[in-house]
Amino acid sequence: MRTSQFPLNTVKETPSDAEIASHKLMIRAGLIRKLAAGLYTWLPLGLRVMRKVEKITREEMEKAGALEVLMPALQPAELWQETGRWEQYGPELARLQDRHQRDFCLGPTHEEIITDLARHEIKSYKQLPIIYYQIQTKFRDEIRPRFGVMRSREFVMKDAYSFHLDQESLQETYQVMYQAYSNIFNRFGLQYRAVIADSGSIGGAVSHEFHVLAESGEDAIAFSTKSDYAANIEKAEALMPEGDRGPATESLNLVDTPDQHSIDEVSAFFGIAKSSCLKTLIVKGEEDELVALLLRGDHELNAIKAEKVFGIAAPLQLADEEQVLSACNAKPGSVGPFGLKIKIIADRSVVLMSDFVCGANQDGKHYRGVNWQRDIPLPDQIEDLRLVVEGDPSPDGEGTITIARGIEVGHIFQLGMKYSSAMKADIINEGGKNQTMIMGCYGIGISRIVAAAIEQNHDDNGIIWPAQLAPFQVALCPMNMHKSERLRVAAEKLYRELLDAGIEVLFDDRKVRAGFMFSDMELIGIPHRVVIGDRSLDSGMIEYRARTASESQELPMVELIPFLL
């Protein structure tokens, strides 16, 4: 490619809504342009990167034996009604009607559609197990789209679904997909971790998330300093053994209650639907009164809740204790709505505790909390409130817990029969009996990965692409080519040779200053830069610099291609 035919849409300004490095750099480097909140156009340069993510993902899916399909983005309501998710999903599901007033939604995920396909297409148990996958646009009406394509409303996902006769077969395929995911993230050249996860609104029992490690990540993950133990912090808390409580429990040791508020009253005030109470811990007493509300600082919903709680417009960085206190105009212990006292308990959490001191429960022990997950109704059984903090012993007894930030880029689930039984996806088994198929599902955030890769690989000058994701491998920068015919001829020849060697090269044939070329190529993150000038033609040497290096080096021109390969 030549820059004369492949315009670089680099810009100096960063948009005011760009809070994190990848969002700023994707705009500045000309990878994406915003259309509206959470909606982005991919420019040619950005799309080249996304295509690389897709290519590697496809190759590993094919290796895992998955079959590619393409399902419609627009989905009929009837299928969602069959599983009950039409009612359960909440406002993230973008619903619309066609001209005949029939209900549809824009697919946020495709379990219903694939299950419908499977119940019609899979005729014999002999066809099982089978894995289908697609790479396709999803739509989720995110409450707070942000960070560019990291959390957008329209995004590209690779989603796969597997069908099985029995649990063993599901587990086998789950293992194959887990390995395929590890291969994919290894090939991207990203630092990542697979963690035990909660299966949330998708359902199922066993689930893992894949996180790209980055400070700006919205999730917290807990892992052992010594062993392989790694879990999403919510899951780590849910899995913590009985009696092994973190410091928050102590602060919830409360006595007597003159004033009580029902959970309904409080959730209405905070604007928390019972079904969308992600990452919030409500601690309630025996009579359903609110004892404490815990807001974890690792999800966008918190900002909204914090807004309601503290009456402030700006989203709060709950990780920053001072910021929280000054924004709330509060000291630890000051009183908020419902007489709730503000208390900072762990580095990423704020607890609002009742000022009226809601009594110790009957047996004089700790109050107990429930972990309210999205779309899961409040369970009757109330569990202990648990927190996992840095330095806790790892649950497997090896090492201690370290907490890091991660960007969720993949999520795999053993679904079981949640969809297949609701939708009667049955099959005749070997014994001639009707049997419900068992399912797994496996997602990768294709477009989010582009942003996550930048989040992990950049410096003050711009993006530093890992080789596998770079839009071009080599930037060929001739110095003052427009003044030297022999240089032009030599540069064209080198360009040809690079192309013939199968190297993706961006030939900067613009009539611009060297400094301008260099800063563009650094900003867009091309791994290798080759500078050729009139001097090179006399000496036979070119100037080479890796994007990761601070200095250039001289290389004989004839050795360039073998060096790059």
Does residue 220 belong to the site contacting ligand ATP (CB under 6 A)? no
Q: Please give the distance of CA 265 from its chain centroid, rounded to a whole number.
A: 33
Query: Would you say 497 and 558 are in contact if contact means Cβ atoms under 8 Å apart?
Result: no
Q: Among 289, 392, 408, 520, indicate the residue that binds ligand ATP (CB under 6 A).
A: 408
Does residue 448 belong to the site contacting ligand ATP (CB under 6 A)? yes
CB of 452 to ligand ATP, least distance (A): 8
Question: Per-residue contact track with ligand ATP, 374 to 393, x per CB under 6 A?
Answer: --------------------
How large is the angle between the packed helices 44-63 and 446-456, nearest 10 degrees?
110
Does residue 418 belong to the site contacting ligand ATP (CB under 6 A)? no
CB of 445 to ligand ATP, least distance (A): 2
CB of 448 to ligand ATP, least distance (A): 4
Give the whole-angstrom CA distance, residue 404 versus residue 218.
Answer: 10
- Closer CB to Mg ion, 116 or 408, in the complex: 408
Binding site for Mg ion (CB under 5 A): 408, 411
Question: Which residues in 76-95 contact ligand ATP (CB under 6 A)?
Answer: none
Q: Among 42, 155, 174, 270, indicate the residue that binds ligand ATP (CB under 6 A).
A: 155
Does residue 140 belong to the site contacting ligand ATP (CB under 6 A)? yes
Instruction: Say whether 181 sits in a helix, a strand or coil.
Output: helix
Residue whose Cβ sits closest to Mg ion: 411
CB of 463 to ligand ATP, least distance (A): 19
Does residue 204 belong to the site contacting ligand ATP (CB under 6 A)? no
- Closer CB to ligand ATP, 146 or 341, in the complex: 146
Given the rule CB under 6 A, which of 234-242, 441-449, 492-500, 506-514 is the region that contacts ligand ATP? 441-449
Does residue 443 belong to the site contacting ligand ATP (CB under 6 A)? yes
Does residue 142 belong to the site contacting ligand ATP (CB under 6 A)? yes
Partners of 408 in beta bridges? 211
The partner in contact with residue 410, picked from Mg ion, ligand ATP, none with C-beta cut-offs of 5 to 8 angstroms by kind, is ligand ATP
- DSSP code at position 445: E
Does residue 199 belong to the site contacting ligand ATP (CB under 6 A)? no
The partner in contact with residue 142, picked from ligand ATP, Mg ion, none with C-beta cut-offs of 5 to 8 angstroms by kind, is ligand ATP
Q: For residue 383, which of 373, 370, 374, 372 has the smallest C-alpha distance?
A: 370
- Closer CB to ligand ATP, 408 or 522, in the complex: 408
Given the rule CB under 6 A, which of 97-105, 147-155, 160-168, 321-329 is the region that contacts ligand ATP? 147-155
Q: What is the DSSP string of 365-388?
A: S---EEEE-TTSPPPSSPBPP---
- Report the DSSP pairing between strands 474-478 and 505-507: parallel
Query: Total residues at the site for ligand ATP (CB under 6 A)?
Result: 15
Does residue 405 belong to the site contacting ligand ATP (CB under 6 A)? no
- Closer CB to Mg ion, 40 or 442, in the complex: 442
Q: Which amino acid is at 466?
A: P
At residue 70's C-alpha, the angle toward residues 65 and 72, to 5°, is: 150
Beta strands in 346-450 (DSSP E): 349-354, 369-372, 401-416, 426-428, 434-436, 438-445
Measured between its terminal Cα atoms, the distance across the chain in Å is 19
Q: For residue 527, which of 545, 554, 553 has the smallest C-alpha distance?
A: 545
The partner in contact with residue 525, picked from Mg ion, ligand ATP, none with C-beta cut-offs of 5 to 8 angstroms by kind, is none
Does residue 131 belong to the site contacting ligand ATP (CB under 6 A)? no
CB of 374 to Mg ion, least distance (A): 9
Q: What is the DSSP string of 44-103?
A: HHHHHHHHHHHHHHHHHHHHTT-EE----SEEEHHHHHHHTHHHHSGGGSEEEE-TT--E
Q: What is the largest CA-CA distance in the chain?
A: 92
CB of 200 to ligand ATP, least distance (A): 6
Does residue 148 belong to the site contacting ligand ATP (CB under 6 A)? no
- Closer CB to ligand ATP, 52 or 528, in the complex: 52
Q: Please tell me whether the peptide bond between 108 and the residue prior to it is cis, using omega within 30 degrees of 0.
A: no
Kindly give, in sequence order, each residue whose CB lies less than 8 Å from that of residue 229, ignoring residues fewer than 6 positions away: 223, 394, 395, 396, 398
CB of 444 to ligand ATP, least distance (A): 6
537 membership: H or E segment, kind and range: helix 534-539
- Closer CB to ligand ATP, 236 or 490, in the complex: 236
Does residue 410 belong to the site contacting ligand ATP (CB under 6 A)? yes
At residue 545's C-alpha, the angle toward residues 542 and 550, to 5°, is: 140
Q: Among 409, 454, 487, 531, indicate the residue that binds ligand ATP (CB under 6 A).
A: 409
Tell me how crowded residue 317 is: count the other CB atoms within 10 A of its CB.
16
Question: Per-residue contact track with ligand ATP, 357 to 376, x per CB under 6 A?
Answer: --------------------
Give the whole-angstrom CA distance, residue 339 versus residue 350.
Answer: 15
Does residue 157 belong to the site contacting ligand ATP (CB under 6 A)? yes
Give the whole-angstrom CA distance, residue 196 versus residue 118.
Answer: 28
The partner in contact with residue 107, picked from ligand ATP, Mg ion, none with C-beta cut-offs of 5 to 8 angstroms by kind, is none
Instruction: Output the six-digit token pair for 322.
Output: 């001072």
Q: Please give the distance of CA 50 from its chain centroid, rounded to a whole number.
A: 15
Give the whole-angstrom CA distance, residue 423 versus residue 85.
Answer: 12
Question: Which residues sit at the interface with ligand ATP, rule CB under 6 A?
Answer: 109, 140, 142, 151-152, 155, 157, 408-411, 443, 445, 447-448
